[in-house]
Amino acid sequence: MEAEKLNILYVDDEPSNIRVFETNLKRHYTIFTALSGAEALKILEKNHIRLIITNQLMPNISGMELLKQATLKWPDIKSIMVTAYADINMVKEVSSEIGIFSSINKPFDFGEMKALIDGALQVYQVHNDEKKALLLMEEKANKFHNIFKAISDVFIRVNNDGIIEMISPSVYELFGYRPEEVIGKNSVNVFMDKENATNDFLLIKETRSCNNFETDLYAKDKSRLHVLVNFRIRTDEFDRPIGIDHLIRDVTQFKLQQKTLVENELKLKSFFDIAPVGIILNDMQGHFIEINREFSKFTGYSINELNKLSYWELTPDDYRVQEQIQLDSLAKINSFGPYEKEYIHRNGQRYPVLINGVKITGKNGEDLVWSVVKDITRQKKADDTIENQRERLALAVNAAQLGIWDWDISNNSLIWDDTAYSLYGLNKSDFRKPYDIWVSQIHFEDKTYIDAEILLALNGDKSFDTEFRVIWPDYSVHHIHATAKVIRDDQGTAIRMIGTNKDITEKKEAKIMLEALREVQASFITTCSSQIPFDNLLDVLLHTTASEYGFIGEIVVDKNKKPTLEIQAITNVYPNEEKGSFYKKITTEELNFKNLDALLKQVITTGKPIISNELYTDPYSEELSEHHSNLGSFMGMPLYNNDKLIGMVGVSNRPGGYNDSFIDKLELLLATCANLFIAKQNLANKQKIQQELVASETMLKTKNKELEQFAYIASHDLQEPLDTVSCFAKLLEEEYKGKLDSNADRYLDFIQQSTKRMKSLITGLLEYSRIGGKRKLEKVNCNKLLAFIEEDLHVLIQEKEAVITCEELPELLAYPIEMKQLFQNLISNALKYSQHNVPSIIHISTKKLKDGWQFKFMDNGIGIEEEFKEKIFIIFQRLHNKEDYEGTGIGLAQCRKIVTMHNGEIWMKSNLNAGSAFYFTIKTNEQ
């Protein structure tokens, strides 16, 4: 058999020899080469070399020296020495000493060299195999001895009669026997019952050996043990049975554990399937191995689809860095997370998850990762909501300027936030004894009340929600609204109060000012006079600004177009009584500021507020400070109606002076003052207009009466000559018809027709003039009214084959004659202007309004063009010639006049050849 291709080392200081050696033998062996002994020793350190072939004559380290060092360190290695003929005796002398397998002279034949190499390697292999066998036998003996002593299982050797020949010390731990108690005894009598023994021996006889056979044995205390038995029959050299070796293991606890494990696996499987979180098992490449239903549910993929995906296909690319951090944690401590990330849903949307996991070892020793994944979409939304609410609360607290406080009752310690300090005009450094300082700040008139409110809250009789006043260090008074919740211990004793404070000074002052302004407005409405309201308004202005002096003035322009202030209210601004008597709180005479001081003029010319807290140093104060030495500060504010400057107010001598905050604070008061000016002007205008209206109404009544008389007289007086013309025309026709030429007969017919039409017009005019005469409102039943009209128009209705329908019509307070004429005109109009050869349909409906009724008369007649919808209501206006449709053009004009009498309106909607709808309203009248 050809030698195995093993590692050999060839050492020669001639490179050419090495090349030749490799060329001839490399296909048979794995050849390592070295040019020196030192290089060869390095190769031996790094590689498993079986054979060294070395040249004897080499510089520094000779071949012999190399082999000595090599065999000393690696005694099993074989060697062949390459020598010159002269060195062969020396090699033979030391070959046994250093274990040289053989030597060969230069130059050598490669066939001979190969034979030597194969022989050396075979010897190496034989020696190596013998060594291994010896070691194995020794190891087995030691192992058996150690196992026999240390094994927890019980080893029992019996002969063919069942007599125990050998038993391990572990028999005591399992069965309670010492080895010497049972050696020499029958194993059946010691450990088994007869039934089990018979079955077991039958099994042994049939199988001659058995692995993992389960049975029950008995301990010394007669307790039954469930055991696992491995046994085999021992034989002699002729394969004849000489006994049985048993290895017995107690599996009682194992079976219990196995049962528990099965139960736990079932529980785990059940939990895995119904867990409310995602559970997955991945390999280290991210492929899914196990997936529960919840994970499938919130990813949107089926379990089959996920089995074809990997963890990384669900993870957005922008999480790569975070994922690497978790993988590093997994590598270092075998776990990662929990940490938040996002998954990509099957629909492409991203959603947040919380994930953590551990590294485990699989059945085949591979690394796997168990992960628990929770969809936290709702939680994130809830967190966002909570955070938004927290931010909104903080914003609300800041926006509302709420001061938060916490009072520890047992220690009498009070903690305030920064806002609370500002509400009391204090700095933190001033707050050494908080509760005492808080009490000292409360207005003396409110202290008793506040003490009572706190006591009621602590006793649980009332919640703490109250208002009180505090005095700031600058002696200004502020209003506080306070609320609090009482915290109690397990016994119900109050231990803390936590609450809020809010400065409501502006609100309270605004309320006071609003009530005062309402009184001002009420007084104006009640008295219809502006003087008292302006005086009251000035009182409010002085109170709100805490000013000593003030005025309210209206800007008027004199004949020279110079603005002056017409004073509506003013206080005494002179220090002495002589001049001061001129000024009264209520000005009964007209008072104007004609020569305006610079500050007043500046307000009027710029239209902006002016504040001057140092009149004596202000260059614009001029005469104001000169003539009124008692004035120390001044604030002037313009009054506007839209964009027009209409007046100004001025106040002075407020302790501490004025600032811009007063401008916003007085916005409502200034608006009320401006509105009062407008109301004053409107009142004057109204009175003038009322006078003009009375005069106009009287004139209108006179004109209307004259017009009605004229219409009546004209229509009455016109009828007499018209009747005469008609009468003589009729006589001419009776006497001369047919006697004159044909033109004369036609002319007489024209005269008759014209006089007849003229009489109809006069009659209509007479009726029109009578509408609105002295009438009395009466209850009118519109259903009965309609029945009367249908009876009057019976012939025309039959002629037009008309159908008149209506809903239930109301009973209302109206002028009965005019209402009948209104209904009759509208129905007659619908019948007159019906379509040819089409039966007329007229429907009447009503709708209740807030202040009356709306009527609708709808027909299917010829209709009216949109452009004539107003013209038809004008007296004598006609849309058709008299040959096609008879009429005077007065009917719809009468309708409008009747509706107007009832404070209503009339209009129509129509389309040509599609009918018309006339609407009118009748207001609810009170008699």
pLDDT at 9 over 60: yes
Q: Cβ distance 4 to 121 under 8 Å?
A: yes
* Residues β-bridged to residue 477: 471
**Mean pLDDT over residues 629-637, rounded?**
78
At which of 256, 290, 313 does a domain end?
A: 256
Q: Are residues 764 and 878 in the same domain?
A: no
Per-residue model confidence (pLDDT) at position 10: 92
At which of 80, 104, 134 does a domain end?
A: 134
Per-residue model confidence (pLDDT) at position 723: 66
pLDDT tens digits, one per residue of 820-854: 888 988 998 888 888 888 888 999 999 999 889 99
CATH value at residue 829 = 3.30.565.10
pLDDT tens digits, one per residue of 349-391: 998 989 998 988 888 888 899 888 888 888 888 777 666 666 6
919 occurs within a structural domain: yes
DSSP conformation class of 680: H
CA dist., res. 5 & res. 2, Å (int): 9
Domain residues for 901? 774-923
The percentage of the chain sitting over the pLDDT mark of 70, rounded to a whole number, equals: 75
CATH value at residue 719 = 1.10.287
pLDDT tens digits, one per residue of 419-463: 888 888 887 776 556 677 788 888 888 989 999 999 999 998 889
pLDDT at 888 over 70: no
Per-residue model confidence (pLDDT) at position 390: 60
Structural tokens at position 777: 């409102």
Per-residue model confidence (pLDDT) at position 396: 57
Q: Are residues 49 and 165 in the same domain?
A: no
Q: Are residues 24 and 95 in the same domain?
A: yes
Structural tokens at position 699: 């004139």
Q: Cβ distance 8 to 53 under 8 Å?
A: yes
Structural tokens at position 400: 């509302």
Distances from the Cα of 254 to the Cα of 175, 249, 251, 746, angstroms: 17, 10, 5, 141
DSSP 3-state of 842: strand
393 occurs within a structural domain: no
905 occurs within a structural domain: yes
451 occurs within a structural domain: yes
Q: Are residues 364 and 419 in the same domain?
A: no
CATH value at residue 187 = 3.30.450.20
CATH value at residue 28 = 3.40.50.2300
> Would you place residue 614 in the very low, low, confident or very high pLDDT band (cuts 50, 70, 90)?
confident
> Would you place residue 298 in the very low, low, confident or very high pLDDT band (cuts 50, 70, 90)?
confident
Q: Are residues 458 and 350 in the same domain?
A: no
**Mean pLDDT over residues 218-242, rounded?**
85
261 occurs within a structural domain: no
Q: Are residues 712 and 749 in the same domain?
A: yes
CA dist., res. 15 & res. 30, Å (int): 18
Q: What single letter denotes the amino acid at residue 47?
A: N
CA dist., res. 35 & res. 56, Å (int): 12
Q: Are residues 800 and 918 in the same domain?
A: yes
Q: What is the largest CA-CA distance in the chain?
A: 196
Give whichever of 266-280, 457-471, 509-523 has the largest mean pLDDT.
457-471
Q: Are residues 758 and 784 in the same domain?
A: no
pLDDT tens digits, one per residue of 904-917: 999 988 888 888 99
Give residues with Cβ within 8 angstroms of 876, minimum separation 6.
761, 888, 889, 890, 893
Alpha carbons within 13 angstroms on the beta-carbon side of residue 258 total 5
Per-residue model confidence (pLDDT) at position 782: 93
395 occurs within a structural domain: no
Q: Are residues 746 and 607 in the same domain?
A: no
**Mean pLDDT over residues 879-892, rounded?**
59
CATH value at residue 522 = 3.30.450.40
204 occurs within a structural domain: yes
Q: Are residues 525 and 652 in the same domain?
A: yes
**Mean pLDDT estimate for the chain:** 79
CA dist., res. 524 & res. 520, Å (int): 6
468 occurs within a structural domain: yes
DSSP 3-state of 907: strand
3-state SS record for 728-777: HHHHHHHHHCCCCCHHHHHHHHHHHHHHHHHHHHHHHHHHHHHCCCCCCC
Per-residue model confidence (pLDDT) at position 232: 83
Q: Are residues 642 and 546 in the same domain?
A: yes
CA dist., res. 402 & res. 399, Å (int): 8
**Mean pLDDT over residues 775-794, rounded?**
87
> Would you place residue 616 in the very low, low, confident or very high pLDDT band (cuts 50, 70, 90)?
low
DSSP conformation class of 442: B
Which range has the worst mean pLDDT, 369-373, 509-513, 579-583? Answer: 579-583
**Mean pLDDT over residues 536-545, rounded?**
82
Residue located via tokens 């003490």: 451
Higher pLDDT residue, 538 or 582? 538
At which of 228, 256, 284 does a domain end?
A: 256
Q: Are residues 450 and 499 in the same domain?
A: yes
Per-residue model confidence (pLDDT) at position 713: 61
Give the DSSP letter string of 162-209: -BEEEE-TTHHHHHS--HHHHTTSBHHHHH--HHHHHHHHHHHHHHSE
pLDDT at 1 over 50: no
Structural tokens at position 44: 């031996």
DSSP 3-state of 844: strand
Long-range Cβ pairs for the range 484-487 (8 Å, 24+): 484/457, 486/457, 486/458, 486/460
Handedness of CA 212, 216, 219, 224 (dihedral sign): positive
